[in-house]
Amino acid sequence: MLVSPSGPTRPERVARGIELLTGWGLRPVLAPHVYARHGYLAGADALRAADLNTAFADPQVRGVICTRGGYGAQRVVDAIDMAAVRRNPKVVAGFSDITALQLALWRGARLAGVHGPGAAWRDERTPLASAASLHAALTTTEPVTVPAVEREETFAVRVPGRAVGRLLGGNLCLIVASLGTADMPDLTGAVLLLEDVQEPPYKVDRMLTQLRRAGALDGLAGVAVGQFTDCADGWEVGVADVLTERLGDLGVPVLGGLPIGHGPEQLTVPVGTRATLDADAGILTVAPAVR
């Protein structure tokens, strides 16, 4: 089922997503309020929560694909029927603001998700490789392997070593916004996934510093650094410099340059499953979310 838990979406972009999903042999169904609008939200909180609960309660729905991120998921996560989620687990796919939803589902039901493009599809940003990656994560039980690539600005962010742990996280802003809530996961022994968009280096510094001061990064196994897209300002310090400084002294392996996030050719990874981060080889391998 296609849902819009955060910002309003465009029907023409969702139409392209439906075309892709149908081509994979899936049967996409629109949630009742998927195109609702209420300012910067995809409808009132009650409507967005109702669509999520409808999807989780329907045994014929095998997956939930969010149309897009934006803002608003944190406003509805406390209304999710976690008992229904636990009774009939199904994969939830999305990224950006959907990190808040995936963190809540992990807290409330230990539900693994999929960090990848939403159904409001844009071919110019997510071409064939992105589609193939999402398809594999949604429909196969094979591990997902993502190599670091030199074109990514964060490619130089690296601390050698190998880490094994559960991959948790996603969008940096939403992780930081979860501090102090029940949804902030215990990251002890975890591989933390980080990505973001349109956040200047000083704000990335501020968010990482807050995580450090809160003790949230204590006991990490490793850090997987994805795309930090359009994260530049007029200062000579770049986002890769900030990431290297704020993550490089944690005493754990760090692998940057992963094409996971808001940038072009975004790839999909499960979150909430076991991962192996090999910073020496430049590869992140993640167990499937689909069983």
pLDDT, position 163: 98
Q: How many domains does the chain have?
A: 2
In whole numbers, what is the pLDDT of the chain averaged over residues?
Answer: 97
- Name the helix (H) or strand (E) containing 134: helix 128-139
Same domain as 135, residue 227: no
What pLDDT shows up at residue 290? 85
195 included as an active-site residue: yes
CA-to-CA distance for 279 and 247, rounded, in angstroms?
14
**pLDDT of amino acid 277:** 98
Q: What is the pLDDT of residues 47-100, one digit of tens each?
A: 999 999 999 999 999 999 999 999 999 999 999 999 999 999 999 999 999 999
**Judgement on whether residues 235 and 252 belong to the same structural domain of the protein:** yes
CA distance 124 to 210: 35
Contacts of residue 75, defined as CB under 8 A and 6 or more positions apart, other chains included, come to 41, 45, 48
Active site residue 262: yes
- What's the start-to-end Cα distance of the chain, in Å? 18
Report yes or no: 9 and 67 within 8 Å, Cβ to Cβ.
Answer: yes
pLDDT in tens, 132-189: 999 999 999 999 999 999 999 999 999 999 999 999 999 999 999 999 999 999 999 9
pLDDT tens-digit profile of 7-27? Answer: 999 999 999 999 999 999 999
Strand pairing class (269-271; 113-115): antiparallel
Domain membership flag for residue 291: no
Is 87 within a domain? yes
Q: What is the DSSP letter of 150?
A: T
In the chain, what percentage of residues exceed pLDDT 90? 99
Domain presence at residue 166: yes
Q: Is residue 270 part of a domain?
A: yes
In a domain, 97, yes or no: yes
Catalytic annotation, pick one of 152, 153, 195, 199: 195
Place of tokens 């392996």: 253
pLDDT tens sequence across 217-231:
999 999 999 999 999
> Kindly report the CA angle at 193 between 140 and 213, in degrees rounded to 5?
155
Using DSSP, state whether 3 is helix, strand or coil: strand
- Whether 130 and 185 map to the same domain: the answer is no
- Does residue 291 carry a pLDDT above 80? no
pLDDT at 254 over 90: yes
Q: Are residues 116 and 51 in the same domain?
A: yes
Selected catalytic residue, list 96, 130, 133, 178: 96
Rounded to a whole number, what is the largest CA-CA distance in the chain?
53
- CA–CA gap between residue 255 and residue 257 (Å, rounded): 7
Q: Tens digits of per-residue pLDDT, 159-168?
A: 999 999 999 9
Tokens of 141: 């039980």
- Looking at the structure, tell me whether residues 73 and 194 fall in a common domain: no
Residues 174 and 280 in one domain: yes
Of 92, 108, 139, the residue at which a domain comes to its end is 139
Entry pTM: 0.97
What does the pLDDT average to over 40-47? 98
Reported confidence tier of residue 234, pLDDT bands at 50, 70, 90: confident
Choosing from 116, 139, 162, the residue where a domain stops is 139
For 276-280, what is the mean pLDDT?
Answer: 98
Domain that holds residue 74: 2-139
Q: Which of 230, 263, 95 is nearest to 171 (CA)?
A: 95
User: What is the pLDDT, as a whole number, of residue 125?
Assistant: 94
Same domain flag for 13 and 101: yes
CA 112 to each of CA 61, 84, 98, 105, 181: distance values in angstroms, whole numbers, following the listed order: 16, 15, 13, 8, 19
